Amino acid sequence: MKSLTAIDSWPSTQAASAVVAADGAVLGSHGDVGHRFALASVTKLLSTYAFLVAVEEGAFELDTPAGPEGSTVKHLLAHTSGYDFAERKVRFTPGDRRLYSNAGFEVLAETLEKATDMRFTDYLREAVLQPLGMDSTSLDGSAAADGVSTLGDLMTFAAELQDPTLLDVQTHSQATHVVFPELPGILPGYGRQKNNTWGLGFEIRSEKSPHWTGTLNSPETYGHFGQAGTFLWVDPVLGAACVTLTDKPFGPWAVEAWTPFNDEVVREVMGS
């Protein structure tokens, strides 16, 4: 795909990108599929999948209390627990607003560890990475932000997100649609959003503006971006997903580059 070659002009030393169709077919890729990139918050997508597998296995339920008083697993996944971004300080009453929280995901990992008597890194590997053959992916710290992976592995994960084999379709649908709707909040890097929509671990594009996906991406688009200069989105209306990994930390360059890049990807997929 010609649109993917735009990453060559970005201010990164290494960059790789691919587009995967809903049937798992790779529509195009550019860059080294085997280079291992720090994922930053794209890690949350992998961790979310493990948490949802744990829900289906009965390790805990979405309504299981976790985090601050009044908070549940569901609140933590949807960034509505009231936790601060990085610290386990309660800033708001659970369910009152969307406050993006790395601390919340770390508490989720600890909750899973207590429920399963397994380290979260082991659970993630056994529940998600090994079944999908993602042998080049690892979690080297926080469940919120310390994943490392390759374009090749995340292409496999992008195919899984569009045709789930590890999760029941209903669980997947609930995770990728808005929960706790109509909550205000700040989308990191893009400012305050009157309706800061989120699913269970997946950010939902909805009508957010500005946003890191393209203006042509459907409101149903879900995924995540990371401060390492990485993103993964799935557009179920388009019937395709895009994975893009760089070694240039997120900043003004990404705000300027990502939206037009994603618009060109959408145009090319629509025209194919």
Cα–Cα dist 54/67, whole Å: 17
Residue 259 has pLDDT above 80, yes or no: yes
Per the prediction, the chain carries an average pLDDT of 97
SS in 3 state form for 113-135? HHHHCCCHHHHHHHHHHHHHCCC
Cα–Cα dist 127/118, whole Å: 12
* List of domains in the chain: 2-271 (3.40.710.10)
pLDDT at 272: 72
Can you tell me whether residue 55 is helix, strand or coil? helix
pLDDT at 199: 98
Calculate mean pLDDT across residues 61-72: 97
Cα–Cα dist 136/262, whole Å: 26
Q: How confident is the model at residue 232 (pLDDT cuts 50, 70, 90)?
A: very high
Tally the residues of the chain: 272
Q: What pLDDT digit, counting tens, does each position of 11-36 carry?
A: 999 999 999 999 999 999 999 999 99
Cis link prior to 210 (omega < 30° from 0)?
A: yes
Calculate mean pLDDT across residues 209-238: 97
Q: What pLDDT digit, counting tens, does each position of 190-218 carry?
A: 999 999 999 999 999 999 999 999 999 99
pLDDT at 77: 98
Cα–Cα dist 190/231, whole Å: 14
Please say whether the beta carbons of 111 and 196 come within 8 A: no
Residue 152 tokens read as 């090749």
pLDDT at 237: 98
Closest CA to 134 of 118, 119, 150, 147: 150
Cα–Cα dist 39/142, whole Å: 11
Q: How confident is the model at residue 225 (pLDDT cuts 50, 70, 90)?
A: very high
Give percent above pLDDT 90 in the chain.
99
Residue 180 has pLDDT above 80, yes or no: yes
Give percent above pLDDT 70 in the chain.
100
Cα–Cα dist 2/271, whole Å: 12
Residue 9 tokens read as 């002009």
pTM recorded for the entire structure = 0.97
Calculate mean pLDDT across residues 37-56: 98
